[in-house]
């Protein structure tokens, strides 16, 4: 369990692939009922501030009926595109990043579109 700044705690599972100049990541955080309400803007701000980055763009998206947000951000030496979704008490974050001198991977769209919620 990971303690949260605003109270409560969350169980975090993170999966990542480091492909040299490129990285792919998928996180799922399950928030305890005692945690404050989940928000996409809070998740966005947390992701960008964790790397001391600057938000470049954002747009609302969805995964079926669930709300989401696609963001792009940059930090020293790195830039990334991420999708964030809230499903009940869970926050899903998927990310594709690259060194600043490289474009975002051509596999990003395929990676993002492969993301599915499984039963349970």
pLDDT-based confidence at residue 16 (cuts at 50, 70, 90): very high
Structure tokens, 75:
């930090």
Question: Which CATH code fits 2-113?
Answer: 3.40.1000.10
pLDDT digits (tens, 9 = 90+) for 44-102: 999 999 999 999 999 999 999 999 999 999 999 999 999 999 999 999 999 999 999 99
* H or E segment to which residue 90 belongs: strand 90-99
pTM, whole model, 2 decimals?
0.88
- Residue 94 CB-density burial (10 A; 0-12 exposed, 13-18 middle, 19+ buried): buried
| 7 has pLDDT over 70 | no
In a 13 Å sphere around the CA of 100, the CA atoms on its Cβ side amount to 8
Q: Is 95 exposed, middle or buried (0-12, 13-18, 19+ CB in 10 A)?
A: buried
What residue ranges do the domains of the chain occupy?
2-113
Strands (E), 22-77: 22-31, 54-63, 66-75
Check: CB of residue 83 under 8 Å from CB of residue 112: yes
């Amino acid at each position: 369990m990971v303690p949260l700044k605003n109270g409560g705690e969350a169980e975090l599972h993170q999966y990542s692939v480091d492909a040299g100049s490129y990285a792919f990541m998928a996180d799922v955080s399950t928030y305890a009922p005692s945690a404050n309400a989940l928000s996409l803007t809070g998740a966005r701000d947390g992701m960008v501030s964790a790397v001391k980055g600057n938000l470049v763009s954002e747009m609302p998206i969805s995964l079926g009926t669930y709300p989401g947000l696609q963001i792009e951000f940059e930090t020293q030496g790195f830039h990334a595109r991420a999708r964030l979704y809230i499903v009940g008490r869970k926050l899903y974050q998927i990310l594709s990043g690259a060194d600043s001198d490289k474009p975002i991977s051509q596999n990003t769209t395929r990676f993002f579109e492969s993301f599915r919620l499984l039963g349970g």
